[in-house]
Structure 1
Amino acid sequence: LQNLSQIPFLKIALVFLFYFLGGYLLYGALFAAVGSAVESIQESQQFQFPITIPLLIGYLGLFMFIVRDPHGTVSYWLSIIPFTSPVAMVGRIAYDVPTSDLVLSMVLLVGGFIFTTWIAGRIYRVGILMTGTKVNYKVLAKWFMTKV
């Protein structure tokens, strides 16, 4: 970029809105699944940290890899994986990302949202019926596999 007029502000704003909404819905579904499975804030803490790790990886990857090499392998994968793409692709879009990468990332984010919402729904259905049960990862996996 030689000057400020070459920055695609509209494209960046639209991509930001899409990834903000997509990331919000994706992580909202994950946190809703946790919220429906536990009864107290103390119980939920063991499940919240693993959900936030991909966000932290995306944020750190933005500064460690994407800013230095926006078209590198790590930058590519961070912007494609649905759990890190809401942060990584927004940082990468200013560097003229190929349209195929952008479309693939968007499709995977929407697919990831649909899949996590489906998982959250299954956990919610069983979690409501199992009120009072002590929850851990093994119990969550069993709830996911249970037919209701």
Structure 2
Amino acid sequence: MSNSITLPTTKLGQTGLTVSRLCLGTMTFGLQTDEGTSRQILDTAADAGINFLDTADVYPLGGGLATAGSTEEIIGRWLKGKREHFILATKAVGKVGPAPWDQGASRKHILDAISMLPSDDWELIMLTCTNCTLMMPQPLLMRLWKHWTP
């Protein structure tokens, strides 16, 4: 990561984290974009100063249940040895399996969704749905949003 370009940065909400103002979306990695090309894109983004990556448990889009989670697996492999340089955001709620609990905002689904990432050290998880009811015990919330500061 040569980082020959300096991108503007910003604070990510109230987390205390500083992220590049550009976030690399990865919804095609693993279907429309093969792993080799995905890695080249990630390398180029890193060299350009992007330190903020966005993924989701259902990515890549368009492949259905057969490919759900492939994007997070590619990102996890690419992050090995350089994880400390990146802020990782993921999303949960989408359907990733055939069981009724393989979607939604239940505690089980969220924990299953984040376990797809080869890293347990992510910074932001977003619940992307309307009318989600999130009911989790406080210790789990503390674990899920462990980097957030008031």
TM-score, scaled relative to structure 1 = 0.28
* Highest RCO, 1 vs 2 (Cα 8 Å, sep ≥ 6): 1
Q: Which has the larger radius of gyration?
A: 1
More helix by share: 1
More strand by share: 2
